[in-house]
Structure formats: C-alpha cells, structure tokens
Structure 1
Amino acid sequence: MRIPLTALLAGALASVLLAGTAHAATSSSSAPAFKAALAKNPIYKTGKLGYDTCDEQDVQSADVDEVRVYLEGVLDCLDAAWKPVVERAGFTFSKPTLRLITKPGAPTGCGDKFPAAAQAVYCSKNKRITYLVNSAVVQEPNDLMLMAVLAHEYGHHIQRLTGMFGALTPYKRKNIARVLDESRRLELQAECLAGTFIGSVWHSLGRKETDFTYITGSGGSGSVLSLLGIKGEDQAQQTHGSAKNIGAWLKRGYDTESAGGCNTFKAPKSQVS
C-alpha cells in the first residue's frame, strides 16, 4: 500500500520536534492573535512564486544513488524558486543542506536522533534536511512523494529564514493548547508551501493530475491516521492536523502558487484542526 500522506505527516512531526519547538489547539472557532512574524509576515505579500520549470530525474526504485540525484536536482529548483521570494520579503536567503540516510537513528544536528516514524526532518539549528531513503517513499517508479516530502521540509526552511520559528510560543505546562495550535498551523503551512512549489512547476513535470490528487487524499490514499495505526486524539493529529486539512492546505498552495495563500495563522480552527 502506498502511504503518501503518512510520509508527510511523520516527517513533519519529527521536523518540528527536532527543531526544538513544542506545539497546539484553541477552543475558539476563529484564529487567535499571533505575533506579526507569524500572522503578518512579509512573505505573504510576495505574490506568485514565479518559477515554472523543474527537470525531474528518472527514479525507478529506492536506490540511494538514484534518489540522491533526483533530490539534489529538486533541491536546486527549490533554491532557485524561493531565493527571490525570500529576498523580496526583506530576508536573507541561505540554502539548506541535504543528508540522505538509509535507516533511522542518525544524528540530525538538533540534539536528537532521526526518529523511526519519520520520512524526513528539518533541523533549524543547522538548516539541514535529513531524508530517509526507503521503499515507503518510492512505492512506484517516479513517485511524486519524493518531491512532496522534500518540498514540505523546505517549507520549514522558509519558515526558519523568515523568522517564524523564533515567534512561536515557548512550551510551558499550562499553555499546551496554544503550543499545539501553533504546531498544527506551522505544519499545515509547510504543507501549503510544498503545494505552492509543486503547483508552480507542475506543467514542466509532464505528470498526470492523479499523481497529485493521490497525495491530497482525493485519489483514495485513505486516512493518514489509520495508515499510521493511530486512533483518536493522538499526538500526530494534535500537532499536524487531520488528513483532510493536510490535503486541503497542500491543494491550496498548489492552486494559489503563492505563499500568500498559506497564512494558516489567520485561518479558523476548523481549517487547522
């Protein structure tokens, strides 16, 4: 069974925890007030991404060398796409680094080891994406999941460059609801930013529309939580949102092709639950 959203969810969860940020929910139906770096960040006013061509390399299996060539090529596209946008928003751009591993447990640079449940993680301290190469991320030849996971982690890099990580509420025992709410908004925004990139370069990829709709959940991928063997109010959904909302924000970024469509910190609770 393919697990497109599972990989996104697991990778995103690990990336937030490894970035040193605890995260949570609000009882209000509307968005609570957030710091300007989160709710009024200049990145939201930069317009469409404006990068329309990314040449994908062929990937037939989870062979590390094949996957490395593919991911390094997509990473170059991500750098080229986001650099002018970050600078247009008034921030200094720097590239993230990429490390491929073949099994969990490797150090990430954020004081913890790569978790068994993740596909990829981003560490804000060293600005490095650590990516697990295994059969889960290449269930079929040229699986779009390779790009989607990398673009999601790159979304966290954009959040790091634009000061969002530093504006999150520090965890305290009494503010877990607030922290979890911010976590979901951060993760769903990274998902939306991934969609922004994919949507921007989509017509250059030569793919079928079903490659994308499968990931959003409209093509029968099933419940993320059930695929993970998770039921009820598990930490994964509390920190990352429901499968429905993950797919919705990914699609929103794809449709708008703009960071302006990804302001999850202005969204009502129903869209970030």
Structure 2
Amino acid sequence: MRFNPKARLDTGRVRDRGRGSGGGFGRGGRGGGLGGARMPVPGGMRTGGGIGGVIVLVLLFVLVQCVGGGVPGLGGGGGAAYDTGRFADTDRYENCRTGEDANDDVDCARVAVENSLHDFWSDELGNRFRPVEQLATFSGSTQTGCGGASSAVGPFYCPPDSSIYLDTTFFEEVLDRQLGGPSGGFVEPYVLAHEYGHHIQNLLGTMGRVRTQQGPTSDAVRLELQADCYAGMWARAATSTEDADGNVLISELTRQDVEEAVAAAEAVGDDRIQQKTQGQVTEESWTHGSAAMRVRWFETGYDTGSLEACDTFAADRL
C-alpha cells in the first residue's frame, strides 16, 4: 500500500490520548460496562491473565446502541452526549501533513487511511453521511462513551460518541503474537475499515436490527460480517479516494495488500479463536462469524462494491 506523496492529510478527526490510568479494565479485572462493536473476538468476559483473559470479551454493542447510540437526526440517540473533546491530545500526529509522511510513518498512514475512509463513505452515502467524531489512539486505558477501555479490548467502535478507539499495540501483541495473524502493512487499514463499517451501520440504523447475539446465523454475526463487507467495499475503491484538494490519497493497493486483509479476517474468525484458546469450536457462542464467513463477506464487498450486496441480514447463506 502506497500513498500519494502530494496528498494533503487532515488530522482534524484523529487524536492521541497518550497513556491512560484507571477507568478501564486490565488483564486481571472485570469490565466496567464497556460496550461497542469490536473487531477482534467472541465469547464472554474472563478474569485473569494469559491469552484467555486478554482476548475473550463480551459483545455489548446491542445494549449500548439501545441505550443511546447513534447520530442526531439519523435515527439514533445523542451522539454529542459524551464530550470527546475533554481529553488532552498529544502531538503524536502533529507532523502528519502529506502522503509522503504517510509512506514513512505508520501513525501518518493511520491518518491517511481515516481520510480515505471519510472520503469514500461521504461519496457513497451523500447527505446521509456524518464523519466519525474521532479516531482515538491510546495506551494502557482510556474512557469512552461506552465506558472504560483498556488495551485488552482491541479496536472497537463506540456508538454513543461515534468514535473509533484503538490501542495500537493490539496488532503486535494480540493479532500477531497470540492469534498468529498477519502483521503486514494492510492489516491495520482493514481493521480500521471494519470499525468504520460499524459507524456506517450506526448512521443507517442497522444496529437497531440486532436481536439475537450469539450463534452462527445470529444478528450479531450478521452485523460483524456486514462490517467486513463494508471494509471490502472501501478496499475496492481505495485508490480513487481523494483529499480535500482532489488529490488521490492512495496511489497503490496491491493484491498482496488484499491478501493480508483476508488473512487478518481469517485470524479473527470465531472458530479460529476458539480452537486456539479452548481447543474446540462452539458455534452457538459465535458473535463474529467463522474465518470462512469473514473472508467471504470481505471479498463480497471487494468484488461488488455494493451496499445491497453487503446486506447480510437478508442473506440465507452466511
């Protein structure tokens, strides 16, 4: 993946909160009510350290959005009810100005990917589109509109504050070392695109369709697979997205990049995680879908570029 050196980056929606203290939950404690649609894993909250304590999480996005997620005027609750601007912002992204910076620095690449997702979905949805409030990176722990979050949670989207949260150590510590997933350059863009897909679902009111939360054909799984499909839609069009001046943001996206996204989708399939963490697969507890499902729906989005084709709620076969 290469960025256009002449592209101008907008850091206005990307924030870094630095290292937090308290307010979240760590490897040895219980969650403090965190909800939100999350990238990595299925299952229930566990206490204690080790791989099970780190990656087995509760999926509470249904409760969160029913309590008050959404964007004002778009079928949800008050997106402004949580003040995302009250946290200090470090200078982590201060030097991210151009696509050349994005080619040289992973932090600036993150900004460029957010800019690309913003442009793609703005064109796709038109007047239905609202940007994420922020893409917030942090270390250790932080507070969100969904409660306290720690690095154990993995990347997630929080509907009440319309924001994506990410402890960037997730990719090396969990996805790579613990789940055996890929660590290539396009893995993080795929994850961010998946989380942005949850934002699109929030805008379109799709989260309100979730009734069943576990099982291979549950609404929760359908929601996650649709976010994968939306990620594929963006990947298909990524090289046509533009900055505010009309310059192309992403100059090259290779087949290897797409294969890295597919490998990441496989690594976070419910069956793969269950087999690795508990030695057996329990379909009735799935919340995100199998590795094959996740790959199939990412590729559906990539091959079709169609919102209609990504309607997992209407699909007979997942």
Q: What is aligned with 2:313?
A: 265
Q: What is aligned with 2:187?
A: 145
Unaligned runs of 5+ in 2: 1-37, 43-54, 66-74, 76-98, 177-181, 241-249
CA-CA distance at 1:234 after TM superposition: 6.6
Instruction: Determine if the alignment matches structure 1 residue 206 to structure 2 residue 270.
Output: no
| Residues 160, 218 of structure 1: alpha-carbon distance in 2 compared, 3 angstrom cutoff | closer
Using CA pairs below 8 Å that are at least 6 residues apart, which structure has the higher relative contact order? Answer: 1
Q: 2:286 aligns with which of 238, 250, 272?
A: 238
Distance 1:123 1:193 in 2: 17
Distance 1:67 1:15 in 2: 30
Distance 1:176 1:253 in 2: 23
Distance 2:239 2:56 in 1: 26
Deviations 1:34-77 (A, max 9, x none): xxx9xxxxxxxxxxxxxxxxx58225xxxxxx433221211111
Q: Is the CA contact (8 Å cut-off) linking 1:191 and 1:249 kept in structure 2?
A: yes
| Residues 14, 263 of structure 1: alpha-carbon distance in 2 compared, 3 angstrom cutoff | farther
CA-CA distance at 1:135 after TM superposition: 6.5
Q: What is aligned with 1:109?
A: 145
TM-score (norm. length: structure 1): 0.66
CA-CA distance at 1:111 after TM superposition: 2.4
Q: What is aligned with 2:134?
A: 97
Choose between structure 1 and 2: higher strand proportion: 2
Choose between structure 1 and 2: higher helix proportion: 1
Deviations 1:58-97 (A, max 9, x none): 25xxxxxx43322121111111110132236xx3523331
Distance 1:15 1:122 in 2: 14
Deviations 1:140-197 (A, max 9, x none): 886101100100000000000111123333xxxxx66689701000000001100110
RMSD of aligned residue pairs (Cα, Å): 3.9
CA-CA distance at 1:242 after TM superposition: 0.3
2:255 maps to a residue whose letter is E
* Matched-pair identity in %: 25
2:237 maps to a residue whose letter is S
Q: What is aligned with 2:96?
A: none
| Residues 87, 208 of structure 1: alpha-carbon distance in 2 compared, 3 angstrom cutoff | closer
| Residues 82, 15 of structure 1: alpha-carbon distance in 2 compared, 3 angstrom cutoff | farther
CA-CA distance at 1:221 after TM superposition: 6.2
Q: Is the CA contact (8 Å cut-off) linking 1:183 and 1:239 kept in structure 2?
A: yes
Distance 1:121 1:15 in 2: 12
Q: What is aligned with 2:196?
A: 154
Q: Is the CA contact (8 Å cut-off) linking 1:252 and 1:262 kept in structure 2?
A: yes
Distance 2:129 2:264 in 1: 37
Distance 1:225 1:265 in 2: 24
Q: 1:85 aligns with which of 118, 121, 124?
A: 124
**Superposed counterparts of 1:1-273, under 5 Å:** 8-10=39-41, 17-18=60-61, 20=63, 57-58=102-103, 66-87=105-126, 91-103=128-140, 105-114=141-150, 116=152, 118-134=153-169, 136=171, 143-169=185-211, 181-202=218-239, 204-217=250-263, 224-225=272-273, 228-230=276-278, 231-233=280-282, 238-268=286-316, 270-271=317-318
Unaligned runs of 5+ in 1: 1-6, 23-36, 38-54, 60-65, 170-174
CA-CA distance at 1:264 after TM superposition: 0.3
| Residues 101, 177 of structure 1: alpha-carbon distance in 2 compared, 3 angstrom cutoff | closer
Q: Is the CA contact (8 Å cut-off) linking 1:192 and 1:262 kept in structure 2?
A: yes
Distance 1:126 1:207 in 2: 31
Distance 1:167 1:181 in 2: 11
Q: What is aligned with 1:46?
A: none
| Residues 157, 135 of structure 1: alpha-carbon distance in 2 compared, 3 angstrom cutoff | closer
Q: How many equivalent pairs are there? A: 218
1:238 maps to a residue whose letter is W
Distance 1:226 1:134 in 2: 22
